[in-house]
A = this chain, B = another copy of it.
Amino acid sequence: MMRRGDDAGYDRSLTMFSPEGRLYQVEYALEAVRRGTLVIALKSKYGATLVTRKKFTKLMDSSTIEKIFQMDEHMGCAIAGLHADSRILVDYARVQCQVHRLTYSEPVRIQTITRKLADIKQQYSQHGGVRPFGSSLLIVGVDPDGMPRITTTSPSGTYWSWRGTAMGRNSDAARETLNKELNDEMSLEELVKLGIKILKESTDEEFEDENLSIATISAEERKFELLKYDRIKAYL
Contact = CB atoms under 8 A, between A and B. Distances in A.
B28 A32 contact: no
B12 A16 contact: yes
A184 to B, nearest CB: 11
Interface residues of A, number: 83
A161 B88 contact: no
A21 B65 contact: no
A121 to B, nearest CB: 7
Q: Is the interface of A mostly helix, strand, loop or mixed?
A: mixed
Interface string A166-182: 00000000010011001
A29 interface: yes
Interface stretch (A52-60, A67-75, A97-105): A52-60
Contact of A13 (B14, B121, B125, B178): B14
A84 interface: yes
Nearest to A18: B7
B126 A131 contact: yes
A23 interface: yes
